[in-house]
Structure 1
């Protein structure tokens, strides 16, 4: 299962490189595009007719190739998550979808290697770094010294939870909104994952 996630991650990195390559390609013809992928797709569709025919073919090839691969791997991981009972239990948590659930199961199995949740958070790189001066401990930023792919999936899932919480009025959503008010936005995202 980990090979599927690593391949998917490779395609995502390739997608970023492809979009950067595409942005550079169309900038040679005077079309300047922002880094946002949706905006890039929109600008390409609007400005495509002003590009030379060979460039239009290159643009089509670049865009079609990469999205199809990521979509296929997402479909495979979704099917795997539906058949695994551990993934199904994880998907009951807010912000955990099929991809994240499969990645958690593939990475940590049944989680008996960790004594508590804090150890898992430290393994993911979500705990704060600690410094001490004069015997007084100080907490710094999160360490980011763990499994970055899984940490990224969890943070992205929690980001969607925070965005959805602004539109709801249940007790959890109110708590999340209060957390965002007390702390900065990204601190609230990471705190909610942790």
Structure 2
């Protein structure tokens, strides 16, 4: 509404505004702090999301919540059946196969009351699985229809889930000057603790959207797994790095590279070119 009225709207990260609060929190001090922060030349505002981005992000948030509920439901089932001496498998797919066998086995010591309860929990788990499948189908359709998401999927390790998450969170990426800035916003660059001219780099900063950062790391692990059977420049870079560093370090470094390459694809509107991936 403010933009429709002709106003220039900028969203300021709250952690930056908090630094300039001089006294107690009230409306007058908040307004003064916001004005002071807006006047600073090095202030980097947050990109304003479009309606399409908000819709995609809502789907991702709902899917992530359903996934957490499904994990909690599976753990609840494991804990309850353990009281009856039944050892449940660790994998969720194996648990889905084990529950019907428990219900059919009359000699496992389960009472009729608990069997009815377990059947209800089984139906809850199936309902969560069905909702996850429906949302995955919606995400796949969006990833196919959105041109930026289609280009991002050309990059190894970027699935429809990761591509749509990048589009919903980062938009077209033009709010960042270069790929490193976007990787830093996601929290994939080293955290600095330098002083007296001595540079000291720590682990990654873990700033920004933890959900997107987690997806990129998982996508990087997938790219690492596929690199052993390929001989392109990116695969050779991954293989050489795996020979010198721990697998977790390689995964984060690959996630950083994925974010930088994704910025080029999103901001420039170009297709992925594997010959130039190491220099992106």
Q: TM-score, normalised by structure 2?
A: 0.64
1:60-99 pair list within 5 angstroms? 60-99=122-161
Structure 2's unaligned 5+ residue stretches are 1-55, 257-280
Corresponding position: 1:102 with 2:157? no
Aligned pair partner of 1:14 in 69, 90, 95: 69
Aligned pair partner of 1:156 in 211, 218, 233: 218
1:24-43 pair list within 5 angstroms? 24-33=79-88, 35-43=90-98
Tell me, what secondary structure is at the counterpart of 1:16? helix
Deviation at 1:169, TM superposition (A): 3.4
The structure that is strand-richer by fraction is 1
Larger radius of gyration: 2
Deviation at 1:35, TM superposition (A): 4.2
Deviation at 1:183, TM superposition (A): 0.8
Cα distance in 1 for residues equivalent to 2:187 and 2:122: 39
Cα distance in 2 for residues equivalent to 1:36 and 1:139: 37
Deviation at 1:29, TM superposition (A): 1.3
Structure 1's unaligned 5+ residue stretches are none
Report the aligned-residue RMSD: 1.8
